[in-house]
A and B are shown apart, each in its own frame.
Chain A
Amino acid sequence: MMTPADEAELCAMVAGAQAPLRVVGGGTRSFGKGERLSLSALRGVEVYEPGALTLVARAGTPVVEVEALLAAEGQRLAFEPMDHRSLLGTTGEPTLGGMVAANVSGPRRVQAGACRDALLGVRFVDGRGQVLRNGGRVMKNVTGYDLVKLMAGSRGMLGALTEVSLKVLPGVETAVTLILHGLDDRRAVAAMAAALGSPFEVTGAAHLPARAGGPLTLLRLEGFSDSVCYRAGRLEALLSAFGEIEVEQGDARWADLRDVRLFAGSGRDVWRIVVKATEAPGLVARLPEGARAFYDWGGGLVWAELPAGTDLSALGPFAGHARQVRGSGCGLSAHPPAIAALTAALRAQFDPRGIFICDPA
């Protein structure tokens, strides 16, 4: 494994590479072939201005370190990044670079935006071994093309991130979880749509259909105590047609949902399906026999667990896309030819020698 001590050394390693390299952050997701290029030595927070809601840090900085720093000022990463370790059975330490490269976003994505929405700027080393900068550390910036968004979720296929700057948000005084019992999937998605379409700022909407105690539909509210209490009351009234609401203090359940712990350790395949929320119940109904699934993002994200090697192509077309997160396969649907051509051409521009290995999307 190559571990450059700084950005200059990274540039030299990439420029001098004779064989493809696999960029890794904390190594919390699965590895394939190729020599590993670890960015773990590029760590440390460079700028944190709580009053400006901005943080700039090197890509190898552990997420947990940043979260602790933010918490000390009552702030947080609003997009609630998932920790993949329990689901994938891996060790290692999730890093900012890995989080950004995979655009990792949790349940709050539905209200506060994804990782890419909080990403203000990047520095990265392209396949030519040169440092490129885009964006910056300010919230509004339309100067030149937005390569920041391009790098978010690019999974290391265009370059190795060395520094990221992020918008952070205030943390909250209180959180409560509203629970509806016994809804079938369609009714649950309808209830979540009603909640998310209300002005009461729901910051999480999930549905767990397959449980011994019957299905649970969960809605999260966060903020100042009085406001949360008021909004919980209004939501109870709004959703009265869906049954009685149980109000649970706190948000303890949401970390498990975020990290998909329900499917930890089963040894079966896990798929992540992004879909138009109202199409999700139909999609889940079409999953093969023996599948388990739950809904996040009001139905817009389905996590499905299936017997190893299950082919999902029988699902047919739907508004969205699927990717295997645990297992041996990869993506479900190929990109249309025009998009595939643009993607390949962009890769060729940023990495003309094909130095960066990337798992198929």
Chain B
Amino acid sequence: MDMPVPDTRILSGKDRIVARLVATLGAGGVIHDPAETRAYECDALTAYKCPPLAVVLPRSTDEVADVLRVCHEEDIPVVPRGAGTSLAGGALPTADAVILGVARMSDVLETDYDNRFIRVQAGRTNLSVSTAVEEAGFFYAPDPSSQLACAIAGNIAMNSGGAHCLKYGVTTNNLLGLTMVLMDGTVVELGGPYLEPAGLDLLGLVCGSEGQLGVVTEATLRILPRPEGARPVLIGFDSNEVAGACVSDIIKAGVLPVAIEFMDRPCIRATEAFAGAGYPDCEALLIVEVEGSAEEIDAQLELICGIARRHDPVELRESRSEEESARIWLGRKSAFGAMGQINDYMCLDGTIPVSQLPHVLKRIGEMSEHFGLAVGNVFHAGDGNMHPLILFDANRPGDLETCEAFGAEILKLCVEVGGCLTGEHGVGIEKRDLMGVQFSAADMKAQMRVKDVFDPKWLLNPAKVFPLDVSAPHRAGAA
């Protein structure tokens, strides 16, 4: 993975720069000892590592603005970091970059149940937003699987999703407002505790911009009343085609399940061996969950089971209790852990039109044979967001490279059938060099011009999202 050559001017000026940062934030807000900066050398994409020049941990919007002004003056790259759970390398530093971590900014600033929003500092974890409003019967809908650890700041940077997007949408659909600091220290407020921002939708533009347009310090999030209940049904099929047709028929019948999850045979076998959830040994397995009162759930599940029966399932198991629900979800929730037991794995994130599911799974199977690496598929079937898990051995020379080549082929296939490279993890560095598969030069140029507006010096997270050769003129200020 190519990264820009660190700027020797910055590296050799470290002591002076650190002194300025300490003068700004106090000694407690700056980490610069190489033994300690190593804790920030990577995020959850651990294949790539590089300790940063220094780490700053501000406590307020004002402190973020102060520290950004210093870096702006000194022309130092800044890599914003939420909780460091990015699977795409979104928070990977370079040796000449300052990491700006928002972990110390985790307060709830305001909860308002009449207007159904919560305002938090952006370092607050996703799950703790929901727990803050739980007693009043509310929740925050986007639920990435890292929700225990991941921060709202990172969720906004990547426009994170989760398993329940089919009904509740992703981060951008649940974000009402934010406070953001531009690279030059200007503080801007976008949106607010109302349903539509004024003027251009800059809120929507910033959400998913991977920390390249500004540092988000506070967020106003929409909270929703918790449903009365939820229960899943597990459906096993002999073929992926039939499972895909069943998903399509459920949606066409007018039911809107809160989640439709899909697992293929390699994944089912691995999770069964690991978690023993009692899944049938079949080609394809669906978990469909619906919400409402007990009677509403019964009615929806009856409709769904009726549709499933017409597709001749090998297994149809409707949950009747919380215990049964937990058992049905157990395997799905253990899927990544189970695959990790077998080997190292790379988790992909492409999205496809759901009608392409059988074709794509067949092609992935063929590629798996070609590259000689096993793959299991877990899939948010309702919205087409795939998570193929490619197994490899990090200790075997060449395996990582083969795995990456295989992954790239899968993502190209996703684009070819009308989908995209990433559904919820973001581009980061991981998919940076594949952007040209999905976008024309003009499309990328238009996006880079947006960055020119917000961050003319290209100091915020500069080596991400756009292929380095494509962004080079912009990073050099020559565009």
Contacts and interface: CB of A to CB of B under 8 A. Distances in A.
Interface stretch (A24-32, A108-116, A254-262, A304-312): A108-116
Interface string B442-479: 11101101111110000000000100000000000000
Contact of A197 (B113, B188, B254): B113
Interface string B152-165: 00000011010001
Given A276-B193, A320-B194, A149 B172 contact: yes
B148 interface: no
A213 interface: no
Given A274-B195, A342-B454, A150 B201 contact: yes
Interface in A165-199: 169-173, 190, 193, 196-199
Interface string B422-459: 11111100010001001110111011011111100000
A153 B200 contact: yes
Determine the interface band of chain B, counting residues with CB < 8 A from chain A.
Answer: 35 or more
A168 B308 CA distance: 23
Most A CB within 10 A of own CB, among B114, B165, B182, B354: B114
Interface string A136-147: 111111111111
Given A140-B423, A343-B199, A146 B446 contact: no
B89 interface: no
A163 to B, nearest CB: 14
Contacts of A173: 254
A49 interface: yes
B407 to A, nearest CB: 15
Interface string B373-388: 0000000100111000
B451 to A, nearest CB: 8
Interface stretch (A50-58, A59-67, A85-93): A50-58
Interface string B181-195: 010001111101111
Interface string A185-217: 000001001001111000000000000000000
Interface residues of A, number: 82
Contacts of B324: none
A308 B300 CA distance: 52
16 contacts: A51-B252, A103-B201, A134-B443, A136-B418, A138-B385, A140-B351, A141-B351, A145-B208, A170-B254, A199-B137, A199-B225, A226-B295, A227-B295, A227-B296, A320-B194, A345-B453
Interface of B: 112-116, 137-138, 158-159, 161, 165-166, 169-170, 172-173, 182, 186-190, 192-196, 198-205, 207-209, 225-228, 247-249, 251-256, 292-293, 295-296, 299-300, 351-355, 380, 383-385, 418-427, 431, 435, 438-440, 442-444, 446-447, 449-454, 465
